[in-house]
Amino acid sequence: MVNSDEEPRIGVYICDCGVNIAGVLDNDELREYAATLPNVVKSERYKFMCSEIGQKLIQEDIENGEINRVVVAACSPRMHENTFRKATREAGLNEFLFEQANIREHDSWVHMRQQDDAQSIAQDIVRMAVAKASKLEPLEVMKVEVKPSALVIGAGIAGINVAKDLGDQGFDVTLVEKTPTIGGHMAQLDKTFPTMDCSACIITPEMVEVGNHPNINILNYAEVTKVDGFVGNFKVEITKKPHYVDQEACTGCGGCSDVCPVITGNEFDEGMKERKAIYLPFPQAVPNKFTIDMDHCIKCELCKDECEPDAINFDDKPKKIEKEFGTIIVTTGYKAFDPSDYTPYGFGRFPNVITGLQMERELSSFGPTVGKPVRPSDGKAPHSIAFFQCVGSRSFQPGMNNYCSRVCCMYAMKQARQYKEKHPEAEIYILYMDIRAFGKGYEEFYEIAAREYGINFIRGRAAEVFENPENNNIIIRAEDTLLKRPIELEVDMVVLSVGLEAQEDATVISRLLNVSQTADGFFMEAHPKLRPIDTLSDGIFVAGVAQGPKDIPDTVAQAKGAASGAASLMAQGEVEIEPYFSVINNALCSSCLSCVDLCPYTAISYDKLANLVTINKALCKGCGTCTAACPCNAITQNHFKVSQIMAMIDTAIPTR
Amino acid sequence: MTESSDITRDYDLYLGCVAPNRYPMIEASTVQVFKKLGINLHDMKGASCCPAPGVFRSFDIPTWRAIASRNITIAEQDRRDIAVMCNGCFGTLLEANHLMNSHPDQRTETNAILEKVGRQFEGTVKVRHIIDILYNDVGPKAISDMVIQPLRGVKAAVHYGCHLLKPSETRPWGKDENPTFFDDIVEASGAESIDYKDKFMCCGAGGGVRAAIKDVSMDFTREKLSNMKDAGVDIIVDCCPFCHLQFDLGQVEVKAMFGEEYRFPVIYISQLLGLAMGISPYDLGLIATKDKPPGTPPFIPTEPFVKKVVEGM
Amino acid sequence: MVLIKEQIKKIDKSIVEEVVEDELLERFKSCYQCGTCTGGCPSGRRAAIRTRDVIRQALVGLDDDLLSSDLLWLCSTCYTCYERCPRDVPTTDIIIKLRNIASHRGLMKGPHLAVSKMLIETGHGVPINDEKWSNLRKSLKLTPLPPTVHSFPEAVKEVQTIIKELKFDELIAYGEEVKKKLAEEEKKRAPERIEELEAELKQLKEEAGK
Ligand code: SF4
Ligand code: SF4
């Protein structure tokens, strides 16, 4: 190990990144410039520094004793910091004596059209990195234990798969679900595209399997309410909502529901079928136990008299459960776009305008119309149906989403085909802008929909609808953009292919877990290409639509990926964490406790008796809040010491 | 007098062209109704054409903006917000005011022109449609409290007009494809607002279409009239002199062009409220006086309607 | 028979530059040609305007006659399309901008030139130009002339100064000139055109005879 007390001898390595950097910057000039900087003893340029040859360049210089500090001017550290750290370490130098200067994302990519300015910015960036490198100190990587237990939040098809995979590998899994049953949206669907296999037939066995799994503990009708701790050691509080029915005692016989006088809309059927105040969401629900919906219950207690095992308990209270987990997997899924506020489509005003999810329930053989879709206004089978695509998606209108929801083209075609199978004489129109049939077998599905099923595809987004007062038919105005003609189309029923959006409580989860959301509300992955199921919080993974709209195969693939990510962490039993924590110098500390309140990760504690403030290295995320707040300058943050940062600032501002 | 005391009670009344020069009953009735409501409408001396948003803005935006800004500076000198009776004028003055306030470059450019006539746009006044004042300041409740002659049994086709509502980002009501505020004011008079097909569709007058491509313009109007007829309305109520002209004179033109005959009295909102508040229908221009010159509006007489609803007439 | 070559549309982005002179209009590049604008356009339901197509043409090059035809002038500026566009394209404002471009090429409609002249002369687009209007005002107990430019000659001067400064009067004069020129050309072509039509008629008759 090279002694850091030695005078710094810095090697600067400039990466062309093919044309990504060298196409904009003059890298020879930059190399010459770097050579003139203080403490720089070596300055090189190479096509791809991340390649084996590139790394060798650095390693040889370290091994020869030529350099004892490394600066690589290349892409973002998010991309290759680990690559170069590893190279540094393997060559025998402490990996924290490496510094990456980002001249790609921060310069050549964003200043492509201002080459002159870009060159001087690159010089600044390199100069700052060199200044910091001169002050770098070696650090030791820390290790913490990882508990072999996983928390899965959300029990749709994603959560079920994660739970199953981890449970099968012997880990202790807790599966938390907000609603009374597991299964999620997939349980609501009738068939799945493009293979047309029965959704319920696929998911119900999985639900049962998870329900009976010895390693999986289902906490349905429950929400995560508090999360402390860090990778390997999350301390989680889960609040189970009161069912008002003893879940152990309930046999699921349904006698209570038969006598309950209150009727309301069933969420599972998108309000298209009734349920009682004491209910089972659907016959195959897991766990198969009843719940009282207190928002609608009138406390007549008829159910109490009826229930043989005497399971009804009107005094039921929320229960808090606390448990430690090594990893957390977020699989909270989505909420379907609610088109009520978009007045031009008349949803909520005209009975014969329904959503895609409602259509799905109507198509389901155990749905409100036992698989024979009807128009809500008169209960008759519609002869003509128009599907509107991109409802709530790809739009800048207020309340709508900019992104493509990725499943609506396919589900509309699927529903259209299903209806055509039952009513070959029906006229079906799909009003679309682009058909996005990109999955395996999807394009073929689309072609068959047009050719074999005779579904009419009209390229144009519906502009507005109104109702024919005589028969409740819906009259659509749109442009057939390929014909360049405005059209008016009268149909019996309209199905709005509503998009997917982030769950309403995604923000709550995001705060609890300290996992960021992208602008569209979905959870943000650590890297869109290379770490699509990790989050930036170590030990927390995300899978399925919670991360962004996707279809069932992609969701399951991600779930399996997340399970594997979590499993490999737990299997190792311990994990390295970056030594970027803050360190407190108790001799300088005046115990003002400013930092204790400010720390967003509750990493700082105060021992009154000993009058000692301590920072938990594992909890500390190195955000620097305390460092900045401490009036006594008693806190320093590893790798971001005041001296290191000031060196960068000093060299950045020439006049200082 | 209205109850709330903290509302603005003095405005410069911007007249525009069609109201004072073709349909002065709109001007007369508005001044009287607002007086009854305790709001003073002052002359905006030397105001010109707004200029119309569909035509003049279509020819040369800088000229449009400069003349509009000149009009606004008159009110700025009077230190009064502007009350507007016309959707088109409202569109022009509101948009110009907005552009001048939010785009420094356009403001500098236009102020350089205004300087030649000794004026400067300062951005100190608001532009308000009288419907905005009636609904948001006075309120339908206070209006109905002042009604002494409720227009019960009258079925009204309310026509909002385009520029009252759109572009919504600058309008006081925000984005709403099915608003009801105007209906609420109409119903404060005791009349009933009847829903009809394509209620929010354009009358066809705007955008220079009436001037340049008459048959298309009149076909808009024909369609609206036919939808109103299907809904069984008695009268048309509007809040824009240009829509008013399009419906009133338009019924004559529709008959000549398409051979379809409609005879809906077209009533401006102030005329309707004035009538319900007991103002003389002669003063409101709803019944012609002896000295009304021939060949002047209304082309569809409003008198029979008044006689039907007002007792003792 | 028309040669295919003449049917090929030239992609000409030059008009884009002119349209986005006003940066507020830049958003029209997000148009994904969904047709929501055309679909709800009250004018398109009875006349030839296709709002979506106008936006498309502004993006990839105008058809030869877009600026000179009636198309642009069929928009009643009702802003229905503007409100509904899912991509926030300021559709109506784009049409207005294209009309400005057309106007500056002398392609205004006759009646519009007439109204503009009214504005230049009186400060009102619709002035009191007949005694009956003053009398109508009087019958309603209003002053014979409104307190607008009509009552303040110096105000008319102000409006005219603004018009001169911005050369709006020249724009209108140019419009009239172009109009006249086009009419003359049309007239000159008339005999030719008649000959052409007669020839066509003859041919048709002959064919019918066979
Ligand atoms: S509505 Fe907007 S996005 Fe759609 S075609 Fe029209 S301008 Fe383009
Ligand atoms: S603003 Fe013009 S183009 Fe748009 S809908 Fe109205 S008439 Fe059609």
**pLDDT for res B312:** 62
| CATH fourth-level superfamily of A335-501 | FAD/NAD(P)-binding domain (3.50.50.60)
Residue A257 phi/psi, 5° resolution?
-65, -35
CATH code of residue B26: 1.20.1050.140
| Mean pLDDT (chain A, rounded) | 95
Question: Is the predicted pLDDT of residue B113 greater than 80, yes or no?
Answer: yes
pLDDT band for A70, please (50, 70, 90 cuts). very high
- Mean pLDDT, rounded, for B143-163: 97
* A383 vs C: CB within 8 A: no
**pLDDT for res B4:** 57
Those residues with Cβ within 8 angstroms of residue C86's Cβ, 6 or more apart along the chain or in another chain: A390, A394, A395, A396, A397, A400, A461, C32, C34, C36
Residues with CB under 6 A from ligand 2: C 37, 41-44, 51, 75-81, 91-92, 95
* C61 vs A: CB within 8 A: no
Together in a domain, B296 and B178: yes
Residues in chain C: 210
Question: Is the predicted pLDDT of residue C5 greater than 70, yes or no?
Answer: no
Helix/strand/coil for A582: strand
Which pairing describes strands A604-607 and A612-615: parallel, antiparallel, or unpaired?
antiparallel
Class of domain C1-105: mainly alpha
**pTM metric for this prediction:** 0.88
Lowest mean pLDDT among A13-27, A604-618, B63-77, B258-272: A604-618
List CB contacts (< 8 A) between B178 and chain A.
Answer: 343
**pLDDT for res C6:** 63
Spans of all domains in chain C = 1-105, 107-210
Those residues with Cβ within 8 angstroms of residue A348's Cβ, 6 or more apart along the chain or in another chain: A340
The C residues from 100 to 119 touching B (CB cutoff 8 Å) are 100, 103-104, 108-112, 114-116, 119
Together in a domain, B181 and B293: yes
Please tell me what DSSP assigns to residue A381.
P
Question: Is the predicted pLDDT of residue A374 greater than 70, yes or no?
Answer: yes
* C32 vs A: CB within 8 A: yes
Q: Which residues of B123-153 are buried (b: 16+ CB within 10 A; e: fewer)?
A: eebbbbbbbbbbbebbbbebbbebbebebee
Lowest mean pLDDT among A175-179, A598-602, B69-73, B150-154: A598-602
Question: Is the predicted pLDDT of residue B5 greater than 70, yes or no?
Answer: no
CATH architecture of the domain A149-187+199-234+320-326+505-574 equals 3-Layer(bba) Sandwich (3.50)
- Mean pLDDT, rounded, for A572-579: 90
- Where does chain B have alpha helices with state H? 18-21, 24-36, 56-59, 61-78, 87-102, 104-115, 130-132, 140-145, 162-165, 181-188, 209-212, 214-231, 241-258, 269-276, 303-309
CA distance A272 to A279: 15
**pLDDT for res B248:** 98
Residue B182 phi/psi, 5° resolution?
-70, -40
Question: Is the predicted pLDDT of residue A22 greater than 90, yes or no?
Answer: yes
- Mean pLDDT, rounded, for A558-585: 94
Residue A354 phi/psi, 5° resolution?
-125, 170
How many structural domains are present in chain B? 2
- Mean pLDDT, rounded, for A259-272: 94
List CB contacts (< 8 A) between B208 and chain C.
Answer: 73, 109, 111-112
Question: Is the predicted pLDDT of residue A655 greater than 90, yes or no?
Answer: no
**What is the CA B299 to chain-centroid distance, rounded?**
18
- C33 Cα nearest atom in ligand 1: 5
CATH code of residue B285: 3.40.50.11810
Question: Is the predicted pLDDT of residue B187 greater than 80, yes or no?
Answer: yes
> Over the stretch C136-162, which tens digit does the pLDDT of each residue have?
999 999 999 999 999 999 999 999 999
Question: Is the predicted pLDDT of residue B3 greater than 60, yes or no?
Answer: no
Lowest mean pLDDT among A469-473, A600-604, C31-35: A600-604
User: What are A58's two structure tokens?
Assistant: 């650095």
Question: Would you identify the CATH topology of the domain A242-317?
Answer: Alpha-Beta Plaits (3.30.70)
CA distance C18 to C59: 11
> Over the stretch C60-80, which tens digit does the pLDDT of each residue have?
888 878 899 899 999 999 999
Q: In testing the pocket of ligand 2, which one of C28, C50, C51, C89 has its CB within 8 Å of the most ligand atoms? A: C51
Distance from CA of A339 to the nearest CA of B (A): 14
Which residue is listed with tokens 């006349």?
Answer: C47
**pLDDT for res A2:** 46
* Assembly ipTM: 0.94
Q: Which residues pair with A291 in a beta bridge?
A: A279
pLDDT band for C14, please (50, 70, 90 cuts). confident
Single out the residue of C150, C135, C140, C143 nearest to residue B295, CA to CA.
C135
Q: C174 or A527, which is more confident?
A: C174
| H or E stretch covering A233 | strand A233-240
Question: Is the predicted pLDDT of residue A445 greater than 60, yes or no?
Answer: yes
Question: Does domain A10-139 sit in CATH 1.10.3470?
Answer: no
**pLDDT for res C76:** 97
Spans of all domains in chain A = 10-139, 149-187+199-234+320-326+505-574, 242-317, 335-501, 582-638
C78·B162 Cβ contact <8 A: yes
Q: Select from A393, A436, A479 the residue whose CB has the most chain C CBs within 10 Å, as the one to mutate to test that interface.
A: A479
Please name the member of B15, B63, B297 whose beta carbon is closest to the beta carbon of C163: B63
Q: Say if residues A324 and A348 touch (Cβ distance below 8 Å).
A: no
Together in a domain, B184 and B227: yes
Q: B292 or C193, which is more confident?
A: B292
A481·C84 Cβ contact <8 A: no
- Mean pLDDT, rounded, for A196-204: 93
pLDDT band for A5, please (50, 70, 90 cuts). low
Q: Please determine whether the domains at A335-501 and A582-638 fall in the same fold group of CATH.
A: no
* B230 vs A: CB within 8 A: no
Q: Select from B35, B63, B170 the residue whose CB has the most chain C CBs within 10 Å, as the one to mutate to test that interface.
A: B63
Q: Which of B84, B101, B130 is the last residue of a domain?
A: B130
**pLDDT for res B141:** 97
Return contacts of A192-197, CB within 8 angstroms, 24+ apart: A192/A414, A192/A552, A193/A410, A193/A411, A193/A413, A193/A414, A193/A442, A193/A445, A193/A551, A194/A410, A194/A414, A194/A439, A194/A440, A194/A441, A194/A442, A194/A444, A194/A445, A195/A441, A196/A414, A196/A417, A196/A418
Q: Say if residues C118 and C124 touch (Cβ distance below 8 Å).
A: yes
| Mean pLDDT (chain B, rounded) | 96
Q: Is residue B257 part of a domain?
A: yes
Distance from CA of C130 to the nearest CA of A (A): 43
pLDDT band for C15, please (50, 70, 90 cuts). confident
Counting residues of chain A whose pLDDT is more than 70, the rounded percentage is 99
**pLDDT for res A119:** 96
**pLDDT for res A601:** 80
Q: What is the largest CA-CA distance in chain A?
A: 91
Please name the member of C47, C114, C142 whose beta carbon is closest to the beta carbon of B216: C47
List CB contacts (< 8 A) between A481 and chain C.
Answer: 33-35, 38, 52
Could you please report the per-residue DSSP string of B199-256? TTS--S-TTTHHHH-HHHHHHHHHHHHHHHHHHT-SEEEES-HHHHHHHHHHHHHHHH
Q: Is residue B135 part of a domain?
A: no
Together in a domain, B153 and B51: no
Those residues with Cβ within 8 angstroms of residue A468's Cβ, 6 or more apart along the chain or in another chain: A474, A475, A490
C35·A478 Cβ contact <8 A: yes
- A479 Cα nearest atom in ligand 1: 5
**pLDDT for res A656:** 46
**pLDDT for res C190:** 84
Cα of C77 vs centre of ligand 2, distance in Å, is 5
Distance from CA of A572 to the nearest CA of B (A): 56
Together in a domain, B91 and B144: no
Q: Which of B100, B130, B160 is the last residue of a domain?
A: B130
CA distance B62 to B251: 36
pLDDT band for B2, please (50, 70, 90 cuts). very low
Q: Is residue B230 part of a domain?
A: yes
Its domain, for residue B252, covers 140-309
Question: Would you identify the CATH topology of the domain A582-638?
Answer: Alpha-Beta Plaits (3.30.70)
Lowest mean pLDDT among A377-386, A609-618, B224-233: A609-618
Together in a domain, B84 and B14: yes
Q: Identify the residue whose C-alpha is closest to ligand 2 atom 5.
A: C41
